[in-house]
Structure 1
Amino acid sequence: MNQESEECPSCKGTGVGKVNSFTKRLLSKDDYEPLECQHCNGTGFKPD
Structure 2
Amino acid sequence: MTIDEITKAVGGIKNNVKQLIYKMCEAGVVERGTMGRYRLPKSQADLAGI
* Same topology, TM > 0.5: no
More helix, by proportion: 2
TM-score by length of 1: 0.31
